[in-house]
Amino acid sequence: MNFFNQLSIWLSFQLSIIFLIGIPFTLFFWSIKKRHKAVIKLVSIYWKISILFFISLLLLIGKFNYALLITNISTFLMTISVWFWKDINDELKEYDISDSLTTTTKVWRWSLTFVSLNFLIQSIGNFNCFSFINSTGCDIWLLPSSNFYNILRSLFNFFFGANFTEPVAKFLGLFSLLIYALGLIQWSIIKLPKNGRNSCFSENGRN
């Protein structure tokens, strides 16, 4: 069963790469080419929120105890971010299935929701890993971040001529998490009460 658990988690991360990174990149450049303001705004907001997912990968590399919890919070916020905006939802409803860009966007939103839900279910299966990632059996959650670790280590060595270690990843992850949390609190206090569920995509891209 451990093998199937590892395989399932590995597949979850592979799906994450496709639906959390690959498709949003495609949609972003596609929407710019089509000058579709609603989709541009939607994906732009998504990328801002998705920073937390990459922060969680840093924390997984650094073996921070609550890294898996933060990963699930990040996928939850990413899913909320693509459904939350009333003006974007209304705009997308105006297009029928023949419009390939908006149809792909709608399919991606549902796929993202499924991937996030699947990720949560997988995590609940290893519930103790939410609070103690270094406990027995949680190493399967650390393996998928190893590729990201290798990329960062190469880049870190190229630009700074230094080794990128697990403690460095943990420090950068926690520092980034603090900045992210402050930004989210600021948005919740200032912008959310002012704009509500209006993304203001029609106002020349202004927030």
pTM of the model: 0.88
pLDDT of residue 106: 95
Residue numbers of the chain with a pLDDT score lower than 70: 1-7, 144, 158, 160-162, 203-207
- 8 A C-beta contact, residue 16 and residue 134: no
Give Cβ neighbours of residue 28 (< 8 Å, ≥ 6 apart). 40, 43, 44, 47
User: What ranges do the domains of the chain cover?
Assistant: 2-195
- Which pLDDT score is estimated for 17? 81
